[in-house]
Each structure stands twice: as structure tokens, then as C-alpha cells.
Structure 1
Amino acid sequence: MARVRVAVYVTRPGTESTDVLTFAHRDFPEAGIQVPAGGVEPGENLEAAAIRECAEETGITAIRDLTALGVDQSPHPETGQERVTVFFHAHLGQPAPDHWQHTVGGTGTDDGMVFDCRFQPVEEAESDLVDRQGELLGAVRSLGRAGPAAPEAVPAVTAATFRGEEGGAGGRADTVDLLLTLVDTSPDLERAAGLVRRGVDWDRLLALATRHRVLPLVARNLDAGALFVPSAYAYATMDTYLAAYLYHRRRNEALLDELAVLARELDRADVPFAVRKGLVLATRYHRDLGVRPMMDLDLLVDAADTARTVGALTDLGYSAGKVDDRSRVVHPLPRDEQLYWHLHTNAMPPMFRATGDPAVRLYTVDITRELALPSSGMRIPAADVVGRARPLPLGTVEVLAPSPEDLVLDLCVHTYKESTTLRYLHRLKHQRLIQYADLREVLRVEKNVLDWETLVKRAAGYGAVPALYFTLAHLESLWAGSVPPGLLPRLGAGLEPTFLDQYGAVDLPEPAVWDTGFLTRMFDDRVELPLPKGPSLV
């Protein structure tokens, strides 16, 4: 069977023409000039493979407008092995020098090799590239500086297209593709139906949607499109999916009622506060209480008001500590955890109140005084956000909610924290598609209101531009077109080429770098990752 490969032309405007990313082996110059290319891993779709190969071989992790150009079926020039190579074109989505050296990561035979990377004119690269890699550069040159063709004009290409009998339809790549299609308040149900006709592993979809906290949204869209096809071999049924939607709708209704109780008590205590994330996102942006899972109620308060906030919640029967899951008894926090919360977090220890409601066995309230971790290099006082907050009706009360700019900043900083801090990585919180789905819905709803210049300026004042860039770049790699054109290179100016793959900055002397691309690690099936330890793991 032919080996399935990808190759990607990453371009940027040059001085007189378009430049394309190429590299050469530092220690083996006889290997010639190449573009990022390599084999597709099992279960990986072609777009993810292209992004991964680019990151592994050059350190460039942010590319945009990824578009399939064509297919080359020439055999390997030395071994004669049959190959199918899908060529892609993409625009550079981050700042990069003209020349640099990169040490290859990943698990392939190139791991540890040093590549001399550079951008060179397309016309020059056409004749320099080896192994027929320059065959389709003419198509890139014809694009000129006008940019790529409209994405919708290019049909989706996945690894399943070339799998033949090996793996069959309904494999992991198809499941991820269907998941990304259904995680949308206005999904393309026609495209989803086409993916379902190819065959679906409903159990795998159930597991993925659960892990990424998007199962209720997926369930609602499966039901709305009458997409589910029963299988005698699958554990999952449509009832299994819908049960999640119905449960979270009931749970969130109870949380909405509890918020009204909290709001009245905090008003009596004269504590200014704003509601953060969950209920704001579910009601204003997802517009359906059932589709957005919520574990707790998040409040933003001025650090000077935290004692009065804790006092008001205590009067309602809340207490801080660790919960015994069986008895629902709240025990005092151990000394080391008290110190951790005081020194290393941006919030107070969670407060709990037991209930008799089977949908919400415990009400949990998180009190946030800062949007960023103390050691992150950012400082975003909750008091600033509360001061700019706007009234928002939630259930039976009117509360304050962050402005669109502050909400986007908060979502980006929070996602960056959970995607790069060891405490959260060990808990797989970097695999939360819901965080990116939240951000996409906010950008959609606030499209005509959100002031990007104000947001960027505000982020710069708080030292949060890298976090903004990190999250928006990864959002764009999941759903192209989510971020305004030209914004990402501006945000990423001055950052290292590997920044989007770095983690552990608040835990380690120097940040570590993932050896896989974003999409590969986002949908990694492992439940334990070989990660280092750090002080955040209390």
C-alpha cells in the first residue's frame, strides 16, 4: 500500500516576490533543499499532519489559510516505495527571521537533527527543491500577493481519503473531523451528514466529546440534524448523548437559581462583583443552558473585597476546603494547599455548599481576584474588569458581566494558563475544545461590537499579549477564519518560533517544548502524559 505523506509550502511576502519556507540539513547538505514534509501518523488527518511536520522540522507553529493544492504520486527516488503526497499551501502566521537553525523534534528518524531554515523566493526554490517538491510551486506563485483562494472553494481532504482498506472510514481522523463540525452553535449539518455516511465510531465520538466538555452541544446538534445512526456494535445510543444535554440543562437551571441567591446576598453585603465565564457564556453566547457544561459559579471581585465575599457566602452555608465525594463533607484544607492557594493562584480556595438536588450535589463558587497566575508575568486585577463590566440579565436578576474586550482577554489568559501550566496539563485540561468553542462564539456574537485595538492595547498594558496570541493562534488552527486577518503576526512579533508549543514557564527554569503539533496533542488519546513535575502540582 502506498505511503501517505504531506508537504507544505509556507509563504510570506518577500521584498520583490513571494518567499517560501525551506530548509537544509546542517550536517548532511547532500540531502538538498526541502520544504516541511513527512508521513501521516495513524489516525491523523492531513491538515494536522501538515501543521505538525512544519512545527517539527522548522519550529514554525502558526500557519494560516491552510489549503490543499494537489497530489503527487511519484515513488521514493531511492527505494521506489509507492507514495501519495498531498501538497498544501499556507501563509505564515507568526513572526520569523529570514534565517535560523532548528533542532528537529518528534519521533521520526530526523529527531535531533539540526536544520538550517530560511525563506527564499519561490522562483529560486522551484529549481532548488529536491524529490519533486517544487512541482506545485507554480500554483503558489500564481497566487501572488493576493492571498489564497476562498477556503470554501477547496474540498476538505483527510487521511481517510487515502486509507483504502486500512482502517476504513469512521476512523479517528473522521471522528475528530465530525467533532469539530458539530462543536458549533450553527453547525454545517450537511457536511456532518456526509461524514456520518462515511461511517462513525459512535463510542469514540462519545469519548472525545466527553473529554473535551462538548458532549451536550454535540448531542443537541446530532438530534437537530437527525444524524445519529444506531449500531448494534456500539455502546452509545442517541439516548446516551441526549442524557448529557438534558442533565446539563437541568443542572444549569439550578445554578442560575443559585446565582440569584448569591447576587442578592452580595448586594446586601455591598460587594461589587461580576459573573465570569459559565453562565454568561451559556446564556448570552451559546444561547442554550443545556449545551455548555458548568462545574461551578465563577465570580470576579476586587482583592480588597474577598474577605467580605467569603463572609457573605459563609452566611449562606458555604465553606472552603476539600470535599469528601461520598459524604459531601467539606474538610479544612491541608497547610500546604492553603499556602499553594495563597502564593501560586489567582483565586481564593473554592467554597462549597451541599444540596439535596440530584443534578447539583454540591454548589461550588470560585472567587477570582486576578485573571492571571502571580508568576505568569501578567497582572490583570479583577477590580479593573468589574469596573468596566456591563449589566446583563441572568435568570431573575441583573448582574454585571465583563465587557467584550475583557471577556476575550479572560478566555485567552485562562486557556493559556490551562494549556501551559503543569498542574493543569497533568489533568489533561489542555484538551478542552469547549474553551475554544466559547471564544469562537464570543467573537461571532460581538463581531460588530468588539474593539480589537482596545483589546490589544489593554492586553499590552497587562503583559498579556503572548497569552492572547497563544489562544487566538490555536483557535485559528481549529477553525480557520475565526481571527481577523493580519492580527496574529502582529501579536506574535518578537516571540520565539517555538512559543506556541512551549509549556511549563511558571514551573520550570526554562519552558519546555512539546515534540508534537497542537492538533496532535489536542486529540491525544492517552490518559497520562510523560510530563515533568513542578511547584504547581500541589
Structure 2
Amino acid sequence: MAVRPDQPPVPAFRADSSPERLADELLLTLARPRLTQEVCARVRDVLGTHGAGLDWGRFVDLAGRHGVLPLVGRNLIRHRLAQSDEGRPLAPYRWIYSYAYEGNRRRNQALADEYAKVLRAVDDAGIAYAIRKGQPLVDTVYGDPGARRVGDLDLLLRRDTLARVADALTDLGYAQGRQSQNGERIEPFDRRTQLFWRTKLTNVALPFVKLSHRDDVELFIIDPCTSLFQVSSGVEADVGDFLDRRVRRTVYGEPSFVMDRTDQLIDACVQLHVEATTLYYIEIGKDLTLLKFLELAELLRAADEDVAEEFRRRVDVYDCAGSVAWALHHTALLYPDAVPAALADGFPVADAATLDEYGAFDGQVHRWESDFTTRLFDPARNKDVTARSNVPGPRAAV
């Protein structure tokens, strides 16, 4: 896959990098489900020589922003990368990394106990569904309940079943609304928000939420979705196709359904492109998260040729090659070994200028002044964005 000169791949973890850059490269190196002995040895070597000058505050901040703090925490602790072979500390804040991982594992168990009830209720009501993202990725990509922070339960549904889903969730104590300022109740969304989501965002419904009364889980959140594609994308896809292809999987200890491997790939690519270029996500700093690129990379690694061939066919059917090309291009910058050249070459970027655009899904196209890798590691990247999302209502907090 050809890489644009102004968007070079993120370099490997090197001892001659600046303290800031060293933190960025360490994050990218550790944000993997599996580390080889060679990678672990290189991390110890560089930290042993230059760890004292590394910007550790930036490292911890970015790990949290990119959703990978539990994962990098686990890797630092499990592979004993925070200390030398002689036991000398190589990385400060060891307790932060262990608490992030262990605390996340306990948190995810609390989510599992609650979301299992939801899956049983939806199943008992005879409603067809498939779980998107979240826990299925924890199971297949990480195989470790503490390595990935989970927030909501994303359910792909037929639109004509939403009322029945709402009834099932209401019986479990869920409501469509936002948490009050004092955290003690759920307040209904205002009429304007309800009307906007009902008429403009017809591929999703307002989330159903429930107070957890726990310190480690602020809210239980159910996100209903009736199409993988934004209305403004122009893609017409029958959600029934995806539900017909769903596969049985035990999730949260319950017999459940998830999307098949090919549809998971399509979903990951489309969602990555939407989040990275939509004002709604840019405003809250969720437009570029390393976690999403990592998970697409791992799904690609696991895809055999049969899956890849079916992926090509379905992308053509749903006419979503633009989103796929964007996602593959940028994932290859971060994880070049994960994107097969044959697959990437099959989805060339039609116009390189579009790689730095945002706002198209909002109907107002703008261009970033900085390149992708600079933006990825810049927590203040949205300071230059003057356009505003017109979507009222909830903003992701997970």
C-alpha cells in the first residue's frame, strides 16, 4: 500500500526520539494484545537508557484518551517491563498500571452481570439482534476480560422491533434520558433532542440508560442501532441481511448472537471512518482512538482468504469502499504488518485530499491543517475546529 509522503507511518520505538515522541512510540508499541520477546527486550533496553527522560505524564494521559490504559498496564506488569532484570524501576506509577487493569477487570464483570440480564430479556421476547463491537471484541481480540474497557451494549436490530426492545428494557429499569447533575436520577431528553434523533438519525435510537449505584460503573447503557451506515452516507443496506448472517456466540455467559466475521470487518471500517470525520465525535475527542485502529488491525490479522474475498464482495454490494479505503489506509500507517497489501490495493484512496477532510457526514466539509499522525497524538487537535455539530443530546463519556 502506498503511503503519502506527508503522512509517514508512525516510527518504531527508538532510543533517539524526543521525550514526547518516545512516549507516543511506547504507547503504540505496548498497545497490542500480544508482545513478542523481541519487543519486550527492546522496550526494556530503551527504557533502561532513556526512561528517565520520557514524558510519563503524556504517556499515561494518551493511554487513557486512546482507551488502551488497561491493555498497556497489563503488558507493563505482566511482562515485567516496569523494572529491569536487576529489579531497578524503569517506569514510574506502576500502581496506576496495575490498578487500571485490575479495576477494569472488576468493572467489566459488573457490566457482564447486568448485560446478561438484558440479553436474556431480549432473547425471551423473541427479538432478533446481533451484538456489535464491545464484548465480542474482548473475547476474540484480547481473550482477557480486563484488557479492554467496555462501556455500552451495542445491539443491531430491525427498526420494527424497537418498541418491543424498549418494553423489555423498561421492565429492567432502563429509560431513554441523561443522568442528572447529582447522579441520582435519569432525566428524559428534551423534546427537541427526541425529535432530532427520531427524524434525522434514523439508523440509531437514543440510548437506554440505568443507574448502577457503583463507583466503578456510572451507568449501564444500551445503544440500539438499526443500520451500520449513517443516513447521510447514502448507503442503503437491509439490516435483515446482517441479522440473517449473525452467528451464535456465548457472550456474558449467555447464548447470544454476534455479527459474522466479514460483517464485523465492515462495521469496524465504517465506524472508524465515521468517528474520525464526524463533528459529533471530534468535539468530544473521540474521533481518533488508537483502540479502534488496533481492533481493526487484529480483525484483519485473523481474516483468512475466504473472509477477505467475501469482504470485497460485500463492500461492493453496500457501496462503502470510500470508508473502507480510509480505514485501511490509516490502519496501515499504525500497523503496517496487519493490512495485507492485496486487500489494501483493492481499495485505493480515490482522492488523497479527502484523507484530511472532516465534516462530510455533517454536510459541511473542512480540512485539517495537520497530518494524521500529528493529530492522533495531539490531545488539543480540536482547538482548530470552528464548525460545530448540530446533533443535540448525549455525548459519549466512556
Aligned counterparts of 1:323 and 1:228: Cα–Cα separation in 2: 39
Contact kept? 2:375, 2:381, Cα under 8 Å: no
Bigger relative contact order, structure 1 or 2 (CA pairs below 8 A, ≥6 apart): 2
Task: Report deviation, 1:268.
Answer: 1.8
| Aligned equivalent of 2:290 | 433
Aligned counterparts of 1:449 and 1:496: Cα–Cα separation in 2: 28
TM-aligned CA distance change 1:286 to 1:181, over 3 Å: same
**Secondary structure at 2:218 match in 1:** strand
Unaligned runs of 5+ in 2: 85-89, 393-398
| Aligned equivalent of 2:356 | 501
Q: What pairs up with 1:76-91 in 2 under 5 angstroms?
A: none
| Aligned equivalent of 1:372 | 229
Aligned counterparts of 2:281 and 2:362: Cα–Cα separation in 1: 11
Contact kept? 2:176, 2:206, Cα under 8 Å: yes
| Aligned equivalent of 1:46 | none
Aligned counterparts of 1:422 and 1:401: Cα–Cα separation in 2: 29
TM-aligned CA distance change 1:157 to 1:534, over 3 Å: closer
Q: What pairs up with 1:2-401 in 2 under 5 angstroms?
A: 54-55=5-6, 156=12, 161=16, 171-187=19-35, 188-197=39-48, 198-199=50-51, 200-229=54-83, 237-345=93-201, 346-401=203-258
Task: Report deviation, 1:521.
Answer: 0.7
Unaligned runs of 5+ in 1: 1-10, 13-49, 56-60, 68-155, 162-168
Contact kept? 1:405, 1:450, Cα under 8 Å: no
Aligned counterparts of 1:334 and 1:535: Cα–Cα separation in 2: 17
| Aligned equivalent of 1:410 | 267
Task: Report deviation, 1:320.
Answer: 0.3
Please tell me the root mean square deviation across aligned C-alpha atoms, in Å. Answer: 2.6
Task: Report deviation, 1:449.
Answer: 6.7
Q: What is the identity percentage for the equivalent residue pairs of Structure 1 and Structure 2?
A: 30
**Secondary structure at 2:341 match in 1:** coil
Aligned counterparts of 1:381 and 1:536: Cα–Cα separation in 2: 27
**Secondary structure at 1:506 match in 2:** helix
TM-aligned CA distance change 1:193 to 1:170, over 3 Å: farther
Q: Give the TM-score normalised by structure 1.
A: 0.66
Task: Report deviation, 1:356.
Answer: 3.1
Q: Which amino acid aligns with 2:283?
A: H
Q: What pairs up with 1:410-489 in 2 under 5 angstroms?
A: 410-444=267-301, 446-448=302-304, 451-489=307-345
Task: Report deviation, 1:537.
Answer: 4.1
Q: Which is further off, 515-524 or 454-463?
A: 454-463
**Secondary structure at 1:372 match in 2:** coil
Q: Give the TM-score normalised by structure 2.
A: 0.89
Contact kept? 1:369, 1:383, Cα under 8 Å: no
Aligned counterparts of 1:409 and 1:476: Cα–Cα separation in 2: 16
Aligned counterparts of 1:202 and 1:535: Cα–Cα separation in 2: 33
Aligned counterparts of 1:409 and 1:215: Cα–Cα separation in 2: 26
Task: Report deviation, 1:236.
Answer: 5.5
TM-aligned CA distance change 1:213 to 1:381, over 3 Å: farther
Aligned length in residues: 382
TM-aligned CA distance change 1:329 to 1:473, over 3 Å: same
TM-aligned CA distance change 1:451 to 1:256, over 3 Å: same
After TM superposition, which residue ranges in structure 1, 4 or more long, deviate above 6 angstroms? none
Task: Report deviation, 1:377.
Answer: 2.1
**Secondary structure at 1:195 match in 2:** helix
Aligned counterparts of 1:328 and 1:441: Cα–Cα separation in 2: 39
Q: Which amino acid aligns with 2:241?
A: D
Note if 1:516 corresponds to 2:370.
yes
Q: Which amino acid aligns with 1:412?
A: C
Cα deviation, 1:206-234, whole Å, max 9, x if unaligned, reads 1110010100000000001212259xxx9
**Secondary structure at 1:336 match in 2:** helix
Contact kept? 2:134, 2:150, Cα under 8 Å: yes
**Secondary structure at 2:340 match in 1:** coil
Contact kept? 1:249, 1:289, Cα under 8 Å: yes
Please state which structure has a larger fraction of its residues in strand. Answer: 1
Contact kept? 1:368, 1:382, Cα under 8 Å: no
TM-aligned CA distance change 1:395 to 1:424, over 3 Å: closer
Task: Report deviation, 1:384.
Answer: 2.3
Q: Which is further off, 171-180 or 319-328?
A: 319-328
